[in-house]
Amino acid sequence: MLFYTYIIIAALVASIILTELFREKSWRNQLAMVIILIPLLLRIFQIK
């Protein structure tokens, strides 16, 4: 159960970052957001 709660939280955070990525106007911040997104994606798809 905790495992899936973790995955849901990771998916939620990833979707917020994704939304913010398109709102953000500074490319530096956009780059930082994508870097943060990578491990979250690997977690959500249970690759790592």
- Within residues 11-40, the interface with other proteins by CB under 8 A covers 21-22, 24-25, 27, 30-31, 33-35, 37-38
Helices 27-44, 2-23: axis angle to 10 degrees equals 160
CB 40 within 8 Å of CB 6:
no
Cα 2 from Cα 29, distance rounded (Å): 31
Least separation in angstroms between residue 35's CB and other proteins is 7
* Site for other proteins, rule CB under 8 A: 2-3, 6, 21-22, 24-25, 27, 30-31, 33-35, 37-38, 41-42, 45-48
